[in-house]
């Protein structure tokens, strides 16, 4: 009799087919490290933007848009077309703010002079749109002179020089405008310089050069005679000097 070849079914033994491997369930991990890093970047970016906006606001806080916003500013009425003269000029204002002047202008390419330059040459520079910063060396410390110099050095159409006998420690001039202050920390110094430097509404010879390297190298000083140092303008006309009439003090 033939044996039954059907395999016996035992306990725990598969009855047929392949077994399926046990499925492992892995819990999804949240990328907390990446989230934290992203938050740090966002916070840093916000801080940078906030700081930048604050700096811009701070820089613009003291800016002015008109001359009458400068407290204590004095204005005058010197007409365009002043004579070029080689003789000394007795200016009514000290320092002068306009009037006849030397044919050669003082270099005003951000030039910081250590000597009291000849005033007739400095007035010519203002006719070209320069701001002239002066100070009494007996009333202003060396540290304060250095601070003023930073406002001038390398800035075109600005020049600075000591001026003996000033009735204030510091005086700023542009054509027909003047401001006198007692402290180098006075915010009006920068307001004046920024507003009047090459402001085409306030000086006669728009587009005129401030370069005179010969004068920068060998400046004429108070008491010197006129000398043809560097370039010169053609005569601007024969109109007489306008009277030195102050138009009043502007500003608050």
Residues in the chain: 252
Q: Which of 106, 154, 163, 156 is nearest to 133 (CA)?
A: 163
pLDDT tens figures, 39-63: 888 887 777 677 655 555 555 667 8
Are 118 and 222 in contact, with CB atoms under 8 Å apart?
yes
128 has pLDDT over 90:
yes
Look at 144 and 7; give whichever has higher pLDDT.
144
Percent of the chain with pLDDT over 70: 75
Q: What is the DSSP letter of 65?
A: S
Q: What is the pLDDT of residue 65?
A: 86
Are 177 and 202 in contact, with CB atoms under 8 Å apart?
yes
For all residues of the chain together, what is the average pLDDT? 84
136 has pLDDT over 70:
yes
- What totals of helices (H) and strands (E) does the chain contain, helices first? 5, 7
Cβ contacts of 246 within 8 Å, gap of 6 or more: 74, 75, 76
Q: What is the pLDDT of residue 203?
A: 93
Backbone Cα Rg of the chain: 38
Interatomic CA distance for residues 178 and 133, integer angstroms:
10
Tokens of 96: 């002068």
Q: Kindly report the pTM of this predicted structure.
A: 0.72
Q: What is the pLDDT of residue 57?
A: 54
Interatomic CA distance for residues 98 and 75, integer angstroms:
11
Interatomic CA distance for residues 12 and 230, integer angstroms:
114
243 has pLDDT over 70:
no
What is the mean predicted confidence (pLDDT) over 161-182?
97
Cβ contacts of 118 within 8 Å, gap of 6 or more: 102, 106, 219, 220, 221, 222, 224, 226
Q: Which of 104, 107, 202, 191 is nearest to 155 (CA)?
A: 107
- CA 180 to chain CA centroid, nearest Å: 20
Look at 8 and 148; give whichever has higher pLDDT.
148
Burial of 32 per CB tally in 10 Å (0-12, 13-18, 19+):
exposed
Look at 252 and 104; give whichever has higher pLDDT.
104
Residue 26 binned pLDDT confidence (cut-offs 50, 70, 90): low
Look at 66 and 151; give whichever has higher pLDDT.
151
Tokens of 140: 């202003």
190 has pLDDT over 60:
yes
Q: What is the pLDDT of residue 1?
A: 52
Q: What is the pLDDT of residue 64?
A: 76
Are 136 and 183 in contact, with CB atoms under 8 Å apart?
no
Q: What is the pLDDT of residue 63?
A: 83
């Amino acid at each position: 009799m033939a044996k039954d070849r059907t395999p016996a079914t035992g306990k725990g033994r598969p009855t047929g087919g392949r077994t399926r491997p046990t499925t492992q369930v892995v819990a999804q991990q949240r990328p907390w490290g990446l989230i934290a890093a992203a938050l740090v970047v966002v916070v840093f970016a916000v801080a940078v933007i906030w700081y930048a906006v604050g700096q811009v606001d701070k820089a613009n806080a003291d800016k002015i848009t008109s001359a009458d916003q400068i407290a204590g500013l004095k204005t005058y009425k010197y007409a365009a077309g002043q004579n070029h003269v080689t003789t000394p000029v007795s200016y009514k204002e000290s320092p002068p703010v306009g009037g006849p002047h030397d044919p050669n202008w003082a270099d005003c390419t951000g030039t910081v002079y250590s000597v009291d330059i000849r005033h007739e040459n400095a007035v010519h520079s203002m006719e070209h749109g320069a701001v002239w910063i002066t100070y009494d060396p007996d009333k202003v410390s060396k540290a304060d002179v250095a601070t003023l110099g930073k406002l001038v050095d390398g800035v075109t159409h600005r020049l600075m020089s000591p001026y003996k006998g000033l009735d204030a420690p510091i005086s700023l001039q542009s054509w027909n405008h003047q401001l006198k202050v007692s402290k180098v920390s006075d915010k009006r110094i920068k307001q004046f310089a920024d507003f009047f430097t090459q402001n085409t509404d306030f000086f006669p010879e728009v587009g005129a050069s401030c370069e005179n390297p010969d004068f920068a190298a060998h400046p004429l000083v108070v008491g010197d005679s006129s000398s043809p140092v560097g370039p010169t303008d053609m005569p601007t006309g024969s109109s007489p000097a306008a009277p030195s009439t102050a138009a009043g003090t502007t500003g608050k």
